[in-house]
Amino acid sequence: MLRLLDWARPAVPRVVLGGCTALGASMLALAVPQVLRGIVNGPLLDASAGHTRGVVLGALLVLVLGVVEAVLVWSRRALILTPGTTVEREMRTSLFRHLLDLPVAFHDRWSGGQLLSRAMSDLGTIRRWMVFGLVMLLVSATTLVVGLVLMLATSWQLGLVYLVGAVPMVWLSFRFRTGYRDVARRARDQAGDLATTVEESVHGIRVLKAFGRGDDALDDFVRQADELRATEIHKARTLSRVSFALGALPEAVLAVSLAVGVTLTARGELSVGALVAFFATAAVVNQPVERLGALLAMTLDARAATDRYLQVVDTASTVTDPPAPRTLPPPGPRGARLELSGVRFAHGHGDDVLAGVDLVVEPGETVALVGLTGSGKTTLLQLVPRLYDVTGGSVRIDGVDVRDLTRQDLRRAVAVAFEDPILFSTSVRENVLLGVDPDDATDDRLTRALDVARADFVHRLPQGVDTVIGEEGLSLSGGQRQRVSLARAIAVRPRVLLLDDPLSALDVTTEAEVTRRLRAELTGTTTLVVAHRPSTVALADRVAVLEDGRITGVGTHTELLAHHPHYRFVLTALAASDEPWTDDEPVGTEAAR
């Protein structure tokens, strides 16, 4: 948990100061019994002393000590509150920054709910522990030690009785620590799974409703909620057992001490004042002992939360900037040369999806990538902007390996329109200009991109391009979202444009219009487009066939149709699942032009 210092360092002075005030308050509480001893042994029992005056002075001193203690307790809260929230914000920001930096492969493995629960409830737990648990644990431990010393000094026999009683308490605390640690971690992981279920159900609410599977989702949720409840009850039982023991043991020890103490006083071996002081001190010391269970539980919860937090933060990003980055040569008038040589890739520890892809897209050229479903077309596209890194071979833009560029330079040069267009809950303008440098984010750039993507419907939205579109653009239709997403890729004016079946949700007329405009616009851009429809192939100068993880044919549509059996097979499969495909369809360079 020392690792928390990485974020908490600036807050340390105030936390230490807060800890000191809390300690001061505890010490004052321990001072009260000593005043009592003075009162009992002095003005109360000593007939020669001025009774009333002494008692009143003593009472006044106790009052002052009480008031100062209260002020110190208040100061602790005031001192620690702000740094606690600051540390939480810093840790949350670090986590989010890191999540943005981690490669897509990481996000493939991690569910949203697990990340969300780390960012929210785990960090809340860590903050509460830092500002309360940690401080109180240290203060309680110090109070305990100082109190024990005072008790031993007051009467070594009674102090010894108390110390012997402390042995089972320490043993119990250690046992509790081992048992509670695992269950605390399990509860947090289960809460993360539950959050994932909520997130997925809300995300897929339309599917659940359309298929009438709401009850199944609810059953699933209730099962997970029950599991979490069982773990929480197990946790609470473990804590209540130790809390009971830590509450009852000191009382039992006090009962024994009382018997021993009264005997010692009766024998004249201990003054009445010392006896009173011992028990008043024991009453102060018992408070932290009784709190110990809850504080230990809080600490172990915070430890589980810290482990979960560090698990993400310590995951190294595998897609990083090179130590000595290269820059791309100045852009040519026709776009960049995209070259994939011997490219291999496997998702996780699975089989190779790409097993030696060789493909060159010349400057300004548009190549359509065609292959059966699951052949790896989307995967191949994602290797260019380094959403994943190749496991073999290389991807080069104008002769420079994409891994030798900084990610910022690379993403300025490459833009992608994904098949599933994700839009953010911001305005159309911000969505479209997302990848454009702020200095270049002009109205002209926006309008032109919207025009080419035939997304001019946005001008008819209530606030035009400033209309905030719903979560993931849900308030737009599928085709509208695709066009905004396409406009976003075009607005970057990249050297290399990657389109993953970007027009699949458009009607035939709109698609033909977008295709025409794209062809006119893409003269200075090299484009690789995944095609599922003949009309998308119409965009292309050449077609590349992806088969068994390799490019097995490159040529115009007509050439491939004549000589490539797998191409014909893919086309038949695509045509069967889509619109009719005929030989005289206006596709390929010759036909399209």
Taking the complex as a whole, the smallest distance from the CB of residue 375 to ligand ATP amounts, in Å, to: 4
Q: Name the nearest CA neighbour of 371 among 354, 351, 352.
A: 354
Please say which residue, 285 or 531, places its beta carbon nearer to ligand ATP. Answer: 531
Please say which residue, 481 or 533, places its beta carbon nearer to ligand ATP. Answer: 533
Cβ-based neighbour number of residue 520 at 10 Å: 9
Q: Does 92 bind ligand ATP (CB under 6 A)?
A: no
Number of residues that bind ligand ATP (CB under 6 A): 12
Please say which residue, 261 or 502, places its beta carbon nearer to ligand ATP. Answer: 502
CA distance 190 to 121: 12
Choose one: 137-145, 189-197, 287-295, 374-382; the region binding ligand ATP (CB under 6 A): 374-382
Using CB under 6 A as the criterion, what x/- string covers residues 315-354 for binding ligand ATP?
--------------------------------xx----x-
Q: Does 578 bind ligand ATP (CB under 6 A)?
A: no
Q: Does 378 bind ligand ATP (CB under 6 A)?
A: yes
When binding is defined by CB under 6 A, the residue of 18, 58, 273, 371 that contacts ligand ATP is 371
Instruction: List Cβ<8 Å contacts ≥24 apart for 209-212.
Output: none
Choose one: 116-124, 314-322, 369-377, 556-564; the region binding ligand ATP (CB under 6 A): 369-377
Q: Which residues contact 339 (CB under 8 A, 6 or more apart)?
A: 359, 360, 361, 395, 396, 397, 399
Residues in the chain: 593
When binding is defined by CB under 6 A, the residue of 224, 379, 482, 525 that contacts ligand ATP is 379
Q: Which residues contact 358 (CB under 8 A, 6 or more apart)?
A: 340, 341, 342, 343, 550, 551
Q: Does 377 bind ligand ATP (CB under 6 A)?
A: yes
Please say which residue, 5 or 573, places its beta carbon nearer to ligand ATP. Answer: 573
Please say which residue, 348 or 580, places its beta carbon nearer to ligand ATP. Answer: 348
- Burial environment of residue 18 by CB neighbours within 10 A (0 to 12, 13 to 18, 19 or more): buried
Q: Which residues contact 202 (CB under 8 A, 6 or more apart)?
A: none
Q: How many Cα atoms sit within 13 Å of 66 on the Cβ side? A: 8
Q: Are 151 and 158 in contact (CB under 8 A)?
A: yes
Please say which residue, 222 or 573, places its beta carbon nearer to ligand ATP. Answer: 573
- Burial environment of residue 558 by CB neighbours within 10 A (0 to 12, 13 to 18, 19 or more): middle
Taking the complex as a whole, the smallest distance from the CB of residue 380 to ligand ATP amounts, in Å, to: 7
Taking the complex as a whole, the smallest distance from the CB of residue 468 to ligand ATP amounts, in Å, to: 30
Q: Which of residues 103-132 bind ligand ATP (CB under 6 A)?
A: 108
CA distance 445 to 521: 13
CA distance 133 to 125: 10
When binding is defined by CB under 6 A, the residue of 58, 376, 553, 588 that contacts ligand ATP is 376
Q: Does 473 bind ligand ATP (CB under 6 A)?
A: no
Q: Does 366 bind ligand ATP (CB under 6 A)?
A: no
CA distance 162 to 281: 12
Q: Does 373 bind ligand ATP (CB under 6 A)?
A: yes
When binding is defined by CB under 6 A, the residue of 374, 438, 462, 580 that contacts ligand ATP is 374
Residues that bind ligand ATP (CB under 6 A): 108, 347-348, 353, 371, 373-379
